[in-house]
Structure 1
Amino acid sequence: MDRKKITIVGAGNIGATLALLLARRETADITLIDINEGVAKGKALDIMEASPILGFNAHVVGTGNYEDTAGSDVVVITAGFPRKPGMSRDDLLFKNYEVVKSVSEQIKKYSPEAFVIVVTNPLDAMTYTALKVTGFPKERVIGMAGVLDSARFAYFISEKTGISVENIKAFVIGGHGDDMVPLPEYTTVSGIPVRKFLSEEELSEVIERTRFGGGEIVQLLKTGSAFYAPAASILEMVLAILWNKRKILSASVYLDGEIGKYYGATGLCVGVPIVLGKEGVEDIIKLELTDEEWKAWRRSVDSVRNLVEKLPL
């Protein structure tokens, strides 16, 4: 079988965890690339030495050279400077802009047909950067944030209600920052609206915790940020594309035309519900929001716009 090829840029915690998750599912052969070539090679070798025990035949290789990534079907950008305690996602803007810009130039050169999943923060601005620098069609450049934020929201609801996470479908849209927009109206427990299970006060607590979910982990770890749940979120997106699942997920994508006008975010990448399949972003779904939610949404869009306007693109 001719396996697909996935390149993961950045062999840090997210990149290495993702490589293991992808390999275990035999999704594709994986190239882990890092400016520190030894780290990429060492982690790849370590994962491969687990293969006889875990029983997978996907190959993981490490490299420091972009030529080895040529012809990738999917490229995941995790490289960049992580958040430290007290740092906002915006503090990272210019440092990570340089990283994502140079990575995007290499992707364009070596894997012109690839789907690009951006994970580097500030997420929406970095997705926009990758889109503009690669010049790829907007269907093929997608930011991973909504899947993660929705998973956090779902877990916190499960914790509060004591009901299985498998029953909970939660939805979060907007920019991947402290003003993201969790949507109780579109969040259900086994198809039943979440408000049947939580009081308004409990729901507010859960929403607040979701908004600051990333920061909570940064504070606890002290020397890094979340990586298990982000890696699992990327896995879900990769599988939706490669296995043509046509899943409805929340992700940061470029909004233009009628849908851009509807969401009042023309010319930006922001988190909205999409249908994700073998063509990448196959559809963008219009949600009816309450006045309160539209207000929160506009605040979120303004935050993203403020960042993007600072970029030298």
Structure 2
Amino acid sequence: MDRKKITIVGAGNIGATLALLLARRETADITLIDINEGVAKGKALDIMEASPILGFNARVTGTGDYADTANSDVVVITAGFPRKPGMSRDDLLFKNFEVVKEVSEQIKRYSPDAFVIVVTNPLDAMTYTALKVTGFPKEKVIGMAGVLDSARFAYFISEKTGISVENIKAFVIGGHGDDMVPLKKYTTISGIPVTKFLSEEELNKLIERTRFGGGEIVQLLKTGSAFYAPAASILEMVIAILWNKRKILSASVYLDGEVGEYYKASGLCVGVPIVLGKNGVEKVIKLELDDEEWKQWEKSVASVKKLVEKLPV
């Protein structure tokens, strides 16, 4: 059986870490492409030289030429300028718009049937850009944010309660920014509401930390931003699609029609719970929110809308 083909655009920390994670799972053969061809080739070779020790047969190759990415099943866009301390995700808007636009044109040309997972910030606006520029069906262009935000929230809950992360299912929706909406009532520990384990005050502190989880790492690193957890989050999404897991995950997707009306976010890409499987976004799930959550949600949607309206797309 032919292995699937995954292209990772950008051989920086997220791209290279993801290539290793995917290769170890033998999910697919991987093409790492970067504007700096030497970095892509060097990291690919380094990963392949680990294969006899780690025992995987997936192939990782590096390139600077989009022709080598042709006929990819999945393309992950990690390329773009990273956040620096003091920079908001929104400061990156125009710099990264140009990058994502150019990458999307190449994807459309060489891999017209691919699923596209967008990781570049500001995430929701860049997912919208990739969707519009490729012209792909809305089920096939997905922004990775909610998986990461939910994982951060789950880890903070585990750290606070001392209970295994494997028991914790956390849920975060909304735009991938400081207005994201962690949902207490849909967050459980072994199916038991998290409110049985933590007080309102404790939970609110963890929610605040989740909102600024990326920024906390940016401050600590001083140069660069998070990459291990983002790469793991992309891995989960890729496997859900390629292995048809039909997992419920939170991701940034294009909302229109009835669901868009329900979420008051028609015509935007925003983080909502979806069923992710071999057809990409197989379903968007409607959540019942309380008044306070709707207020937070609307604030989050307004932030995304403000950015999207600035885009020349």
- Which range, TM-score by smaller chain? over 0.9
Residue equivalent to 1:108: 108
Opposite residue 67 of structure 1, the aligned amino acid is A
Measure how far apart 1:284 and its partner are: 0.1
- TM-score, with structure 1 as normaliser: 1.00
Residue equivalent to 1:150: 150
Residue equivalent to 1:35: 35
- C-alpha distance in structure 1 between counterparts of 2:54 and 2:295, whole Å: 48
Measure how far apart 1:112 and its partner are: 0.1
Q: Which consecutive residues of structure 1, in runs of 5 or more, have no partner in the other structure?
A: none
Q: Which consecutive residues of structure 2, in runs of 5 or more, have no partner in the other structure?
A: none
Report matched runs for 1:7-18 at 5 Å.
7-18=7-18
1:164-188 CA-partner distances (Å, limit 9, x unpaired)? 0000000000000000000000000
1:185-205 CA-partner distances (Å, limit 9, x unpaired)? 000000000000000110011
- C-alpha distance in structure 2 between counterparts of 1:106 and 1:312, whole Å: 19
1:130-173 CA-partner distances (Å, limit 9, x unpaired)? 00000000000000000000000000000000000000000000
- C-alpha distance in structure 1 between counterparts of 2:283 and 2:262, whole Å: 14
- C-alpha distance in structure 2 between counterparts of 1:90 and 1:159, whole Å: 30
- C-alpha distance in structure 2 between counterparts of 1:221 and 1:206, whole Å: 21
Structure 1 residue matching 2:90: 3-state secondary structure:
helix
Structure 1 residue matching 2:83: 3-state secondary structure:
coil
Measure how far apart 1:119 and its partner are: 0.0
Residue equivalent to 2:279: 279
- C-alpha distance in structure 1 between counterparts of 2:216 and 2:123, whole Å: 18
Residue equivalent to 1:266: 266
1:54-83 CA-partner distances (Å, limit 9, x unpaired)? 000000000000000000000000000000
Residue equivalent to 1:77: 77
Q: Matched residues, percent identical?
A: 89
Report matched runs for 1:56-95 at 5 Å.
56-95=56-95
- TM-score, with structure 2 as normaliser: 1.00
Measure how far apart 1:92 and its partner are: 0.1
- C-alpha distance in structure 2 between counterparts of 1:282 and 1:82, whole Å: 31
Opposite residue 4 of structure 2, the aligned amino acid is K
Residue equivalent to 2:97: 97
Residue equivalent to 1:22: 22
- C-alpha distance in structure 1 between counterparts of 2:45 and 2:169, whole Å: 37
Opposite residue 141 of structure 1, the aligned amino acid is V
Q: What RMSD in Å do the two structures reach over aligned CA positions?
A: 0.2
- C-alpha distance in structure 2 between counterparts of 1:179 and 1:220, whole Å: 21
Residue equivalent to 1:249: 249
Report matched runs for 1:197-212 at 5 Å.
197-212=197-212
| Structure 1 residue 49 corresponds to structure 2 residue 21 | no
- C-alpha distance in structure 2 between counterparts of 1:217 and 1:178, whole Å: 14
Residue equivalent to 2:172: 172
Opposite residue 129 of structure 1, the aligned amino acid is T
Measure how far apart 1:225 and its partner are: 0.2
Opposite residue 297 of structure 1, the aligned amino acid is W
Residue equivalent to 2:129: 129
Residue equivalent to 2:302: 302
Opposite residue 249 of structure 1, the aligned amino acid is L
- C-alpha distance in structure 2 between counterparts of 1:192 and 1:129, whole Å: 39
Structure 1 residue matching 2:254: 3-state secondary structure:
strand
Count of aligned pairs between the two proteins? 313
- C-alpha distance in structure 1 between counterparts of 2:208 and 2:294, whole Å: 17
| Structure 1 residue 224 corresponds to structure 2 residue 243 | no
